[in-house]
Amino acid sequence: MSETVIKCESVYKIFGQNAKKMLEESNGNVDAKTFQERGCIVGVNNASFEVTKGEMLVVMGLSGSGKSTLLRCISRLTDATGGKIFIEGQDLLELNNKELIELRRNKMGMVFQSFALLPHKTVVENIAFPLQIKGTNTEESISRAMEMVKLVGLDGRENYFPRELSGGQQQRVGIARSLAVEPDIWFLDEPFSALDPLIRKEMQDEFLRLQEKLQKTIMFITHDFDEALKLADRIAIMKDGIIEQLDTPANIVLNPATEYVRKFTEEVPREKVLIIEDVMDASSKDNLGDLKVSKDEIIENVAEKILTQEKLVGVVDSNNNIVGSIKPSKIIDTVFGGRKNGS
């Protein structure tokens, strides 16, 4: 088990005047409705989870579900009303202003939905901004920023102003800026939501490429379930401030915890999400045919091959040891019949 980077213990965020008092009185049993009657709005309700090093946790929810609020609690852009948040073992809420600034300068990077670039600075100045804030000298910060410009593929545009760039390019600047200080923890708040579908896909692919290279600990906010499935190591689905389910994409699709989650998974093409390991039969390893497939393969990629077989297909792990088998009919079941066992 790799080390925990972000750890939340029953985090609450309640907006309103007497929020803190009301939370204490409620003993952790927060009901959004009663709070609303008394003039408080519940943003995050009893969120507990951990994110380990190099993991990408995607928080998914519709607008108003509290996902952005949760992110802002963890980056302490807003103070949580209750609960504890640990960043690499440090209690975030106990940090004083100076320590908080230090933490942000060295450990955290954040990307925003509306890009939030500084309009008066050029691309390279925007990217160098966090470095200059830290006190890095101009020459060094600009040369580091130029590296970032190359990393996100904006070479030749370093002297443009944000207003002269397209949305996708602006978000590249946003991404480069958040990475300039080489943070360990990377927050992304709906980074691709404001982009066109084609650009969004391109940016997602690029993002995966970057993450493969950088291996940051990531919290990624989105309202797009497909995006969540595509990117996530684990997904947290939020509704009304409550985390409905937190699991791997496959588990969410296969075993939705609540009715709300099930609705999301209904339309999801399983063969694109599930891997062989999720549907294989680990108990029977005999009577195998010639074909072997890797357990990490996504079903869609090998479905055609498996379906042409008549015998059981062997499933192997990365060391080529057989770990299970799969029937061709199981594939058909998964793709077409999955909706039955969804409840």
Partner 1 sequence: MEYLKKYPKLFQWFFLLIVFFALCFAIDVPETYKFIRGQAEFVKDPNQSVYFFLGKEVRYYAFDVFWRLPPLLGWLPIWINDSLFFLMNEWMPMEFWNEDTQEFKTRPLLLEISRNLTSFMTFLIELIREILLGGLETIVAFTSWDFIDAYPWLELPGLPWTIVAAGAAILSYKLSGKGLALFAGLTMIYISIFGQWKPSMQTLSFILVAAPLSFIFGLGLGIAAYKSKRVEKALYPILLVMQTMPQYAVLVPALVLFGVGDHAAVIITMVVAVPPMILLTILGLRAIPPEVIEAGRMSGCTNWQLMFKVLIPTARRDILIGVNQVIMVCFSMAVISAFIGAKGLGFNLLLALNQLNIGLALEAGLCISLIAILLDKMSLAWANKQTDYFGNLTFFQRNKNLIFFVASFVIGIILAYVGTIIFKGSFNYLFEIPHNKGISTADFWNKGVDWIFDTFFVYIKAFNTWLIQDVLQPMRALYLRMPAVATLVLAVGAGYLVGGVRSALVVAALTLFIALSPWWDRALVTLYMATFGVVISCLIGFTVGTLCFQNKKSAAFMLGVCDIFQTFPSFVYLIPVMMLFGITDTSVLIAVIVYATIPATRYTIEGLRSVPVGLHEAATMSGVNKFQRLTKIEFPLAFPHMMLGLNQTIVFALFMVIIGAFIGTEDLGQYILKALSDKNGAGIGLTLGICVAFIGLIFDNLIRTWVGKRKKHLGID
Binding mask 166-205 for partner 1 (x = CB under 8 A): --------x--xx--x-----x------------------
Using the rule CB under 8 A, give the single segment among 22-30, 107-115, 165-173, 322-330 that binds partner 1: 107-115
Q: Side-chain half-sphere of 160: how many Cα atoms within 13 Å?
A: 16
| Least Å from the CB of residue 92 to partner 1 | 14
| Least Å from the CB of residue 105 to partner 1 | 3
| Least Å from the CB of residue 57 to partner 1 | 18
**Residue of 110, 237, 274, 279 interacting with partner 1 (CB under 8 A):** 110
**Residue of 1, 33, 96, 120 interacting with partner 1 (CB under 8 A):** 120
Told to check if 144 binds partner 1 by CB under 8 A, we report no
- Number of residues this chain uses to bind partner 1 (CB under 8 A): 37
CA distance 56 to 215: 9
Angle between helices 123-134 and 167-179 (to 10 degrees): 20
Q: Looking at beta carbons only, is 187 or 207 nearer to partner 1?
A: 187
Using the rule CB under 8 A, give the single segment among 83-91, 113-121, 228-236, 320-328 that binds partner 1: 113-121
Angle between helices 97-106 and 123-134 (to 10 degrees): 130
- Between the alpha carbon of residue 268 and those of residues 89, 290, 335, the distances in Å are 37, 31, 10
Using the rule CB under 8 A, give the single segment among 4-12, 17-25, 39-47, 109-117 that binds partner 1: 109-117
Asked if residues 289 and 308 have their Cβ atoms less than 8 Å apart, the reply is no
**Residue of 21, 48, 99, 118 interacting with partner 1 (CB under 8 A):** 118
C-alpha closest to that of 202 among 172, 176, 178: 172
Q: Can you say whether the dihedral through the CA atoms of 63, 164, 172, 134 is positive or negative?
A: negative
Q: Looking at beta carbons only, is 156 or 286 nearer to partner 1?
A: 156
Sequence-ordered alpha helix ranges (H) in the chain:
19-26, 32-37, 67-74, 97-106, 123-134, 138-151, 167-179, 197-214, 225-231, 249-254, 259-266, 270-273, 276-279, 299-307, 328-332
Q: What torsion, rounded to 10 degrees, do the Cα atoms 175, 107, 220, 76 define?
A: -110
Told to check if 51 binds partner 1 by CB under 8 A, we report no
**Residue of 79, 102, 140, 296 interacting with partner 1 (CB under 8 A):** 102
Interface contacts to partner 1, rule CB under 8 A: 72, 75, 77, 101-102, 104-106, 108-110, 112-122, 124-125, 129-130, 133-134, 138, 142, 158-159, 174, 177-178, 181, 187
